[in-house]
Amino acid sequence: MEQNRPLPKYKILIISLTVFLVAILFVGATLAIMVQQKSISGSISFGKPIVVSNSFDMNGQSISGVAPIEPAKVQPGSVITGLTLRTYVTREGSTDTDTVAYVRAKFEIENIYIDGILVTMQDKIYLGQDPNGNGDHTYYWEKLTFTNDLGTSEDWWVLMEQTTDLPMAVKNNQVIDFLVDGTLVIDKAVTNELASKTLDMKFVVEAIQSNNIDAQTILTGNNGNPWWA
């Protein structure tokens, strides 16, 4: 699609490959060529991936990993406060001073079928404020639109460095916050069709190794548009 896009990079996973040789020995003779083949086989070894760990806090209730969030019984017009997602990225063998990955996050509300009709919920339940920094103004989150090779676009919040306004590579085991004391807004346009319904919501956090992509490429690598390997 784009001519200037950088070559694809491996995301998350480090791949180490051991090369095994196949030796072929040719022996000459008077009337024929005798061929002797020797081979040795081996395996491809995959290194340990970068690990993204999340904990989610809503109204003081802390939930780690992928455990389900207890549904909050709300009404149209409600605002759920005290929303915080904490994430850290680690890789075995790295030190605390190593920069290991760039990070992006997005918020999703699962669409729902009502009387056989698909109802899109993303515009009815949404984040009430922009993600902000962690209080010391070293980083912030910026919403960028990424388009894949199929032409599908998605909005992601990218972790940015305050001093450079470029994507920030987090250090090994560094804790970062998304939506510090944020809010989740239930739009007043929601109707009684959702009465007694339970909707699933989730934050998706993705990391990419910092040695596979640079900060400027994330911002402009897709012919001047945001790009994620």
Digit-coded pLDDT (tens) for 90-101: 988 888 899 999
Q: Which residue has the tokens 């450079």?
A: 164
The CA-to-CA distance between both ends of the chain, in Å, stands at: 15
- pLDDT band at residue 7 using 50, 70 and 90 as cut-offs: very low
pLDDT digits (tens, 9 = 90+) for 187-204: 888 877 777 777 788 888
pLDDT recorded at residue 126:
86
- pLDDT band at residue 117 using 50, 70 and 90 as cut-offs: confident
Q: How would you list the strands of the sheet with 61-64, edge to edge?
A: 61-64, 51-58, 79-90, 175-186, 125-127
CA 116 to chain centroid, in Å, comes to 32
- pLDDT band at residue 29 using 50, 70 and 90 as cut-offs: very low
pLDDT recorded at residue 166:
97
pLDDT digits (tens, 9 = 90+) for 139-191: 999 999 999 888 899 999 999 998 999 999 999 999 999 988 888 888 888 87
Higher pLDDT, 144 or 61: 144
β-strands 125-127, 117-119 pairing: unpaired
Residue 36 has pLDDT above 50, yes or no: yes
**Considering just the CA atoms, what is the radius of gyration of the chain in Å?**
25
Question: Rounded to two decimals, what is the model's pTM?
Answer: 0.74
